[in-house]
């Protein structure tokens, strides 16, 4: 767990986080989580199984939970019973349980499912998301993205950035993205599970040494 100005951030592996600030308990992309706690809010970045896991949602969602997700996740929502489902698209800002949530695009530029046809794993037209949560401190979860031009519009204090390559930014690309976003603290993610190793997180940290960005590598909680 990492605590910053009253916000507790627990990395649950891969792209999954638990964000706690009294009285709220916020999960982002819960996947293969242990020690599940009931959620106030759940944010889902896109429909892939390692981000929109019905099995994990069933562990944490109650009739009081609000789920925030893109339109492509609606089919999975019928399998759980949250208090509300808030649909978002890139550019939207909505207030959820008193928290301002802004949706940013997340997509690939050069990570292809089919190199022959240049079909990306995460096409821009799908409406997959990253989110900025305003908890007094602004926290950005990038989702599965490359270093896309729209990252220049992200303003945050803390940035959770994928670093593994293959489906998302490499460590080098993530470091370049961090220099565009300019958070106070950057936390690497998307490694140690399906793809990527701790070496990717270490390389990301090394690439940002000498900048004003502090890199915090979290132990899985």
CB 103 within 8 A of CB 126: no
User: Any idea which architecture 2-215 has in CATH?
Assistant: 4-Layer Sandwich (3.60)
CB 96 within 8 A of CB 66: yes
- Across the beta sheet with 16-21, the strand order is 2-4, 7-13, 16-21, 24-28, 41-43, 66-70, 84-88
The pLDDT value recorded for residue 174 is 98
Listed by start position, the domains of the chain span 2-215
List the pLDDT tens digit at each of the 221 positions of the chain: 999 999 999 999 999 999 999 999 999 999 999 999 999 999 999 999 999 999 999 999 999 999 999 999 999 998 998 989 999 999 999 999 999 999 999 999 999 988 888 999 999 999 999 999 999 999 999 999 999 999 999 999 999 999 999 999 999 999 999 999 999 999 999 999 899 999 999 999 999 999 999 999 999 98
- Partnered with residue 96 across adjacent β-strands are 99
- Say how far residue 92 (Cα) sits from the centre of its chain: 16
The pLDDT value recorded for residue 162 is 98
Enumerate residues 6+ apart whose C-beta is below 8 A from 45. Answer: 15, 28, 29, 51, 70, 106, 128, 129, 130, 131, 141, 143, 144
Q: How far apart are CA 81 and CA 74, in angstroms?
A: 12
Angle, in degrees to the nearest 10, between helices 198-207 and 171-181: 40
The pLDDT value recorded for residue 114 is 86
* Overall pTM surpassing 0.85 (yes/no): yes
CB 52 within 8 A of CB 27: no
């Amino acid at each position: 767990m990492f605590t910053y100005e009253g916000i507790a951030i627990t990395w649950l592996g891969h792209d999954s986080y638990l964000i706690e600030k009294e009285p709220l308990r916020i999960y982002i992309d819960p996947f293969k989580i242990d020690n599940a706690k009931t959620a106030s809010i759940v944010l889902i970045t896109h429909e892939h199984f390692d981000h929109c896991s019905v099995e994990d949602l069933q562990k944490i969602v109650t009739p009081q939970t609000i789920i925030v997700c893109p339109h492509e996740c609606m089919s999975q929502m019928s399998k759980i019973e949250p208090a509300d489902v808030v649909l978002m698209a890139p550019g939207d800002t909505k207030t959820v349980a008193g928290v301002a949530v802004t949706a940013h695009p997340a997509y690939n530029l050069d990570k292809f499912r089919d190199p022959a046809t240049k079909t990306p794993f995460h096409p821009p037209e799908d409406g997959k998301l990253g989110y900025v949560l305003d908890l007094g401190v602004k926290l950005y979860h990038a989702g599965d993205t490359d270093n896309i031009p729209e990252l220049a519009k992200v303003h945050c204090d803390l940035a959770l950035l994928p670093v593994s390559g293959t489906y998302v930014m490499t460590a080098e690309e993530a470091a370049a993205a961090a220099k565009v976003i300019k958070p106070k603290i950057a936390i690497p993610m998307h490694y140690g599970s399906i793809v990527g190793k701790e070496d990717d997180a270490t390389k990301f940290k090394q690439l940002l040494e000498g900048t004003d960005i502090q890199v915090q590598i979290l132990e899985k909680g």
